[in-house]
Amino acid sequence: DIGETVDEFALSPDRRTVYFAKRLGGSSIVTYDKTRRLLHQIPSGNWPAVIEVDSVLQRMMVLNVFESSIGVY
């Protein structure tokens, strides 16, 4: 289940994984592996709004609006 609202998404540098911000029904990041067709949820902070993937650091950063925090994965 990707979620009730998906307003933000990002692609991995190799374009094999899509990351979706799931705000309602639980604050998490949903990953979709396009090659294996698998969904996975990663717990996030409250109300993930912006997702950025840094190809140099090999990290994903998520802005959690209601916590005023940034999650690094």
> Tokens standing for 49?
């709004």
Could you tell me which residues are beta bridge partners of residue 15? Answer: none
pLDDT at 35 (0 to 100): 95
Please state whether beta strands 6-11 and 28-33 pair in parallel, antiparallel, or not at all (unpaired): unpaired
Global pTM reads 0.85
pLDDT at 1 (0 to 100): 54
Provide the residue-wise pLDDT of the chain in tens; the chain has 73 residues: 555 677 789 999 999 999 999 887 678 999 999 999 999 999 999 999 999 999 999 999 999 999 999 999 9
